[in-house]
A and B are shown apart, each in its own frame.
Chain A
């Protein structure tokens, strides 16, 4: 017989204590016996984890029975019947139910008194509530985003263990879809994964319901809906028959899309939609809370055929669920080991070797955004701290006003505990009201934030608050209330009570004003940190936006034309259509030049490899990362990339790109070698594992190939391309004679005139592309600036309050000095100087703290050192200037002090 564990005994006693006293008295023995009984039952079931199971039962039981029992205890009346023959140990006190109600009533009465006293000073209370609302609201809002994006991005069971898995080429630095063989091997053999399924995000053209639009469609493997608990809102999920070869095509429609585009039509199941010119039957509605992608919102879902889920020509990823207690590294190691048991592809070279990469879902949103979120979270925490300190300072001021009253109470025997309770209740009320207002602000702000946020973050992250947010807010309220209550209460307890009765501005005021100054200094220090952080991100953003992208961004427009495959089934037809589009574009009066090119700057359509001049040494190490791409006719002129030496490709070279044996390099490559590189041979690898040998025919200017933050010395190698194409979509670059944005609608109507069933997507100007590339940084800088401004306002508000109080308290002394002939100007300067002392102290501490903390921000800064002197000095000056202004306003009241009045005032 296993001994009853002491931890359970303690837990049971504690839980029993939480019950109403009557319940305890009557059922104490039974309760204990029931716990022991439960222990025996669980041990019979299995010794392992019995303790946990029992604890769980006890806790959940307490959670559900406590409210009921307390309700009964308080509302219970004379019809309560005691069970006869009870084994209660102690004799029952008559009317014991009233004792509980009494205690509760005491609290309620204090609560009412606190509320009334706050209502009496409505202006003050409103100020505190607003201050706290700002801090709490900002925190709740950002925590909500953090929760939805990082902590629990997938609401399904075990969603916090969900991972994405892809193949990664360390040599090339890019990720690819895994292979079918890898998928099957991992699925059957991986012990660190509970489940593994595949998904493939893509687009399709929707026709037949208004003008042709492009919709997002994600294909999923058969087991995926069950894995993520996606129970259809209507209809059914995918069945094996749907994925069989030759089966009629089916789709599930996403719930959000169904509500917005179909008006939540209850008969949608069984209807047909035309996607990419193929009729699909709708079999069900996919629930919107079964999210499987962090950076996309599919409108439709399709099914992948089993055995062929991973088709390398489309980008697929695997969605897995780790077993509990396992980390990303362990999963990666196991998958790599399983992968090595597969047959090696004989043609593969070491440079195209792939290793599995296991990542947390939110990493799809980019490091910049994720780090930015954490930084904002810290910033909001700082803001809340400032708000709480500000509020406690205000409350301290108020408490002091009641010192005399409190002194009388305490001298007459009132308990300090009662005092604390009063303060606590006031703080709780203020913090609670602040939280309510703050949450309202947060949800209002949520819609604004959603619009400003980077486009790949789902808007729901800002507007749908998960269950965690209210809990977190409650935590904040508790913390703030305790802080705000503790400061004045502790101060009052420490000051000698009896001295309060005799003097007013006596000794305690010295320590009090030191405390107040200290609080101001704390606020300023925290504000300095935020303002410096904000300054750093602004500097970084400014540097980013002033990068020269290497092409004429303002005049260029980019768009993708997508043809439905049914109407253009052969390559010839598609290619012919694209040629017609190109011709039509060239003929437009506002178009300076155009190019049918899949390759565009600032995108990952340019791949990487190694390159060096034939005859020279190969670059040491893994090889220089370079960008390669095909240049279609018109690419250079359309983008206005300067041709520095040599020539562009000829049509003959373009017609046979594989045999042409020519290449164009960029300035950075040419700069590595003395003399001209034109005419010399180039060795490089790009698509295939073999090295290619090509003759350099021209040198062009540098372009930002992947992102704005590419290293400037990156080598770019271009090979000739036919332009146009025969795929289902083709990208076009257009250079406008004037503004690119005005050109886009004209181009759309031109193409619609050629064929209205063809969809035009992704139409944007070069400038918009660049803006999109800095979305994350801009979002972070903007929000941090808002936080910084708010913190600045709060901190200098604190300064204002402190100086103002000082002036009103020292009216008599100041009056005397004026009467004795002191210049008012001199007095004002003295007052301001005194008010600035804590500010200077705060700035010093804050700047010091910032030096320690900014290393965390360094990761998101571009070309800006974390200890950028401009940001530090600028922030300090800004704070001093603001503090001086805030101190001057009340200080100037000194000039209006009439000495006689001052002497009389007391």
Chain B
């Protein structure tokens, strides 16, 4: 089980973030991550399912027993949701990044001419 102080790998962070507002299924996660990063991060199937597997193993996400979406063409689609431990890890990582951004702003790195 990862301690709270370890930095989350990027794909794990992005997936947890995608699940932070509501449960989604795998492909929905891909769409959410792509939309939120302005098309920059395109999760491929290997990374997606590998990370989901690892997050499941660490109990940071769990399968969500939701009623299948009537729009789905596949009633067997699996949904995922964030667990309380997952939220803790997500919040810790977001705070870590926020602190770093503040330092960068203080040093004028994000100012003009970069």
Contacts and interface: CB of A to CB of B under 8 A. Distances in A.
Interface of A: 12, 15, 19, 23, 26-27, 30-31, 33-35, 37-38, 41, 45, 57-58, 60-62, 64-66, 68-69, 72, 79-81, 83-87, 236-237
Contacts of B43: 61
Given A38-B30, A87-B76, A80 B45 contact: no
Given A34-B26, A37-B27, A87-B76, A57 B49 contact: no
B53 interface: yes
Given A34-B44, A72-B54, 6 more contacts: A38-B30, A58-B44, A61-B46, A61-B47, A83-B63, A85-B76
Contacts of B50: 23, 65, 68-69, 72
B49 to A, nearest CB: 4
A236 B113 contact: yes
B92 interface: no
A85 B63 contact: yes
B95 to A, nearest CB: 26
Interface residues of B, number: 25
- 7 tightest A-B contacts by CB? A61-B44, A65-B46, A34-B45, A31-B45, A27-B49, A37-B27, A65-B47
23 contacts: A12-B45, A15-B46, A23-B49, A23-B50, A27-B49, A27-B53, A31-B46, A34-B27, A34-B44, A34-B45, A35-B45, A37-B30, A41-B34, A62-B44, A62-B46, A65-B50, A69-B50, A79-B57, A80-B57, A83-B53, A83-B63, A85-B63, A237-B113
Contacts of B52: 83
Nearest to B45: A34
B45 A61 contact: yes
Contact of B42 (A33, A38, A62, A85): A38
B96 interface: no
Nearest to A76: B57
Contacts of B31: 41
B78 interface: yes
Interface in B48-69: 48-50, 52-54, 56-57, 63
Q: Is the interface of B mostly helix, strand, loop or mixed?
A: helix
A343 B62 CA distance: 75
Contact of B49 (A31, A62, A237): A31
A405 B56 CA distance: 53
Interface string B28-47: 00110010000100111111
Chain A CB within 10 A, most for which of B26, B44, B50, B63: B44
Contacts of A80: 57
Given A81-B56, A84-B63, A30 B46 contact: no
Contacts of A72: 50, 53-54
Contacts of A236: 113
Nearest to B57: A81
A15 B50 CA distance: 14
A189 B57 CA distance: 59
Contacts of B46: 15, 19, 31, 61-62, 64-66, 69
Contact of B26 (A30, A65, A84): A30
Contacts of B56: 81, 83
Contacts of A86: 78
Contact of B78 (A34, A58, A83): A83
Interface string B57-94: 10000010000000000101010000000000000000
Nearest to B42: A57
A7 B66 CA distance: 36
A381 B13 CA distance: 49
A33 to B, nearest CB: 7
A60 B43 CA distance: 10
Given A23-B50, A33-B27, A60 B44 contact: yes
Contacts of B49: 23, 27, 30-31, 34
Contact of B44 (A57, A68, A69, A85): A57
Nearest to B58: A81
Contacts of A26: 53
A34 B48 contact: yes
Contacts of B45: 12, 27, 30-31, 34-35, 38, 58, 61
A69 B44 CA distance: 14
Contacts of A27: 45, 49, 53
Nearest to B9: A68
A30 B45 CA distance: 8
Contacts of B26: 30, 34
A400 B54 CA distance: 51
Nearest to A66: B46
